[in-house]
Amino acid sequence: MNAPGWTRRGAALAGALMLAACAQKGPGPMYLWEAFPRQQYDTLLREAGSPEAQIAALEAHAEKARGAQAALPPGWRAHLGMLKLSAGNPDEARRLWEGEKIAFPESAPYMDRLLQRLNAPAAPAPVKSENPA
């Protein structure tokens, strides 16, 4: 047995193992976008389904993101909050908008405006006169 030959073979094997470890798939995308941008666009065009159907699609998106260990994209919570509000759930909208501020601090000015509107007392309805003038 030649000791230097074994040393070269061991070094070659160690090098091959290190290269194989480096060749592992790198991290995936930061956010799971999928159909979310299209859904927002369809909502703006008023071509999307009912708020309830859109909410169900977004909640399925969240489940898929959790399964893929991917983050929800910017605006996802804000959009779901708008849908929850339109479906009559202001408390859930508030929770989602607060979550958007935490996940994306740069969204705070817009989320704060939405929260202010949500917290503002409703304006009283104008009183109609019984006597037409």
Structural domain spans, the chain: 36-118
Assess contact for 70 and 33: CB atoms under 8 A.
Answer: no
Q: Residue 36: which of 65, 3, 73 has the closest Cα?
A: 73
Q: Which residue has the higher pLDDT, 9 or 5?
A: 9
Mean pLDDT of all residues belonging to the chain: 84
Q: At what angle do helices 90-103 and 76-86 cross, to 10 degrees?
A: 170
Kindly state the greatest CA–CA separation across the chain.
116
pLDDT of 89 > 90? The answer is yes
pLDDT of residue 126: 65
The pLDDT tens digits for 98-113 are 999 999 999 999 999 9
pLDDT surpasses 80 at 6: no
Say how far apart CA 13 and CA 72 lie, in whole Å. 41
Residue 13 pLDDT class (50, 70, 90 cuts):
low
**Average pLDDT, stretch 9-38?**
70
